[in-house]
Amino acid sequence: MINMKIVYFFVLSFAVFINGFFSTAVYAENTFTIGYLELKKDPRYKKKRLLARFTGQALGRPFAGAEVAIKEAKYHGIDIDTVLLLERKTVKKEELTSAVEEFNNQGVQFIVLDLPSFETAELLKKIKGKDIAFFNATSYDNTLRNESCQSNLFHTLPSHAMLMDALAQYLISKKWKNILVLEGELAEDKQMSSAFEIAAKRFGLKIKDKRIFKLGNDPRERSKNNVALLTKGDFDVIFIADTNGEYARDLPYQSLKPNLIVGSEGLSASAWHWGWERHGAPQLIKRFIKKHKRLMENTDWAAWMAVKVIAAGVQDTKSTDYKKITAYLTADNTVLDTFKGHASSFRPWNNQLRQTILLTTHNWVVTRAPLKGFLHQKNNLDTLGNEKRNSKCVF
Amino acid sequence: MFNIFQEALNSTMKYLLIAALPIFLLAPAISHAKNTGYIFVSSEKDNSVAVLDGKTYKQIKKIETSDRPRHLAFNADKTKILAACGEGNSIDIIDIAKLEVTDKINDDIEDPEAFDVSPDGKYLYISLEDDGALGVLDMAEKEMIKTIEVGEEPEGVLANPDGKSVYVTSEVANTVHVIDTATWKVTANIKVGKRPRRFALLASKNELWVTSELDASISIIDLATNKVKDTIRFEAKGFRKEDITPVGIAMTNNGKTAYVALGRANHVAIVDIASHKVKDLMLVGERVWNIELNKNESLLFAVNGLSDDISIIDTKKKKVIKSVAVGRVPYMAIIDD
């Protein structure tokens, strides 16, 4: 028996090696594989972008976070004699559907998605009616949680709406009420600024003006590209929605008046920050740096969290059953650990992970939301993002 | 309001008066640094251990240590204090007579957090946060003789006085690992509440109590079967579950009462061990972390990580009689009495 187990272990180790699985396998009879799907050429991870270190944006492929998480999950399947594995598929856009089918044929029913929002929505439309749960780890898109939501699509990354609510809570708690909104031309910039406008209304900020910025030096468009001209006026704070990041980077210290900058630069609302020091975060960040030789950012955390919630499902339900685990994720009494404080759980009305949001500068966490005094009748975390009553998600 | 202060003042005065006597009685012993009455408090961000006078609670010294001292424990004859310094990768040894670090053990120790000394004093069992392992340090050789792989972020460590087993929690695996000291192998993995932190051993019932920070609970493990036989959940009116984050635990010698630090709830709970019921809550400082009883169990020292102080509780009155500032992010207090 012992010999058989050893032989099996070597076979398993070899299988792990040749298939490119990622796990620190403790011995077990069974395996449970979590899929990870990403794009071969993803503009978000172009070398130049990564090196630019735009505030809050990726410093590398978020798969790094998933790898750290699977190591943390080495004992999660022990009660059912199961080892948890992680398998990565990096494919072209047109191969996404077939990659999911391949996963499905292998028996993989839990897949972490590192895809832009458009690809996520398209993929989910094509793969309907199958028992596969997807975990969006890299898109902040509000529509994925509303109009184009799916009952088998979970979100560990917060939405723009959640982030902007956190930011608005902070500004109103400081009584910095008068805001200039700067908005870029990308669709996601508009989504971010409109989320901020909703948040401003929700928490009582005054948006004094809204202006469109444009990258470039064209003198004919200087009212849009010249920072001094663009920021003229009397405001407490300038909010900028620039999901690309190049314009926002140039804003601090360049405004006409000595304004504070928030949004895509200056003070940001974040899912994660490497400067966070509570709830076990320093240990996680240390593990991450040790393995990947870089700092841990928002989407690294969301990919880590996605693997963690699946692993928690296996551990707490003592099973690998699709129905049991997905029911567990949205159950009322489920408690998930984000390493950010506050017991987290998924909102059953749109499968969004309710969570603490960090308010961060380039190298520090100033505070976290929900801020003190922002109370909700059921769960204070629901002062951030869409509540059931204003959700446009119908499963 | 006035009454509360008066009462606190009175009780403090009483302690001062009672305190005056033993100072003379103990005078000859002080040269051997025995039973100094000192309270030692480690501070994570100050890289020091504060020494408080046991009567006046005045800080009499700040002992410089390696970076980020956390867990503290006495050696067998109580002449020294061992301090696990996480970022200094060291176990610092503080000489109580000299009140300074006189030695350091840093053989292969990466990010030590909590530890326990084996009953024979030969080994130090240390949770190595970074490595996801329990380290076994030979105290005579000052050498790490073994590391045993456990779940990531190991935290609380307890050596069973029978010398046969060591228990260690893994914060991220939500598991208590049982390690056999004869073979240095993990012999059982017991799933407990989320983010298990600290232990207390109830020898009379062969039970191991484990606090779970994110589950607002204590799991009670029957050591005969290595199974969780009961769970105590902390809930109180006016508190949200997510703010109740139990960590430190201390039990009275008669096995009747357990004190549990409730973290963010800023209270210490009094638990009746026989009925597993919470009897009372005592308000302390912010994010109360570790707690420690003095020898005669008249006082309980609660270490408040986010208000940089300790609360000194009169266990009879169930009330804080004094709070004392100690340093940035205090972690643990031990009392030399």
pLDDT tens digit string along A157-181?
Answer: 999 999 999 999 999 999 999 999 9
Of A71, A283, A315, the CB nearest to B191: A315
Q: What is the pLDDT of residue B35?
A: 85
Give me the total of CB pairs closer than 8 Å, taking one residue from chain A and one from chain B: 50
Averaged confidence pLDDT in chain A: 92
B60, pLDDT greater than 60: yes
A74 closest CA partner among B127, B154, B152 = B152
Please check whether residue A256 touches B, CB under 8 A: no
Q: What is the pLDDT of residue A129?
A: 87
Q: What is the pLDDT of residue B123?
A: 94
> Mean pLDDT across the stretch B12-17?
47
Residues of chain B neighbouring A337 (CB-CB closer than 8 A): 172, 194-195, 214
Q: Which residue of A has its CA nearest to B172?
A: A72
B17, pLDDT greater than 50: no
> Residue A71 — pLDDT band, cuts 50, 70, 90?
very high
B18, pLDDT greater than 90: no
Residues of chain B neighbouring A376 (CB-CB closer than 8 A): none
Q: How would you list the strands of the sheet with A206-212, edge to edge?
A: A206-212, A178-183, A237-241, A260-263
Of A71, A75, A380, the CB nearest to B189: A75
% of chain A with per-residue pLDDT over 70: 93
Q: What is the enclosing helix (H) or strand (E) of B289?
A: strand B288-293
Token pair for residue A204? Answer: 């009582």
Distance CA A307, CA A134 (A): 11
| DSSP 3-state of B240 | coil
Comparing B61 with B17, the larger pLDDT belongs to B61
Distance CA B182, CA A16 (A): 32
Distance CA B238, CA A107 (A): 46
Contact: A287, B174; criterion CB under 8 Å: no
Q: Which CATH code fits A2-158+273-355?
A: 3.40.50.2300
> Mean pLDDT across the stretch B280-292?
95
Top-level class of domain A161-270: alpha beta
> Residue A258 — pLDDT band, cuts 50, 70, 90?
very high
B7, pLDDT greater than 60: no
Residue for token pair 């077990």: A28
Q: What is the pTM of this model?
A: 0.84
Comparing A217 with A173, the larger pLDDT belongs to A173
Q: Where in chain A is the domain with CATH 3.40.50.2300?
A: 2-158+273-355, 161-270
Residues of chain A neighbouring B111 (CB-CB closer than 8 A): 283, 286
Q: What is the pLDDT of residue B32?
A: 55
> Mean pLDDT across the stretch B315-337?
95
E strands, chain A, in order: 21-22, 30-39, 82-91, 110-114, 133-136, 153-155, 178-183, 206-212, 237-241, 260-263, 268-270, 345-347, 352-354, 357-360, 365-369
Contact: A75, B111; criterion CB under 8 Å: no
> Mean pLDDT across the stretch A290-316?
97
Residues of chain A neighbouring B195 (CB-CB closer than 8 A): 280, 337
B8, pLDDT greater than 90: no
Q: What is the enclosing helix (H) or strand (E) of B251?
A: strand B249-251
Of B129, B151, B173, the CB nearest to A283: B129
> Residue B107 — pLDDT band, cuts 50, 70, 90?
confident
Torsion angle of the four alpha carbons A13, A14, A15, A16, in this order, in degrees rounded to the nearest 10: 50
Which range among A314-323, A386-395, B107-116, B165-174 shows the weakest confidence by mean pLDDT?
A: B107-116
Residues of chain A neighbouring B191 (CB-CB closer than 8 A): 78-79, 315
Angle between helices A117-126 and A96-105 (to 10 degrees): 50
Interface ipTM > 0.90: no
Q: What is the pLDDT of residue B34?
A: 75
Residues of chain A neighbouring B172 (CB-CB closer than 8 A): 72, 280, 337
Contact: A72, B151; criterion CB under 8 Å: yes
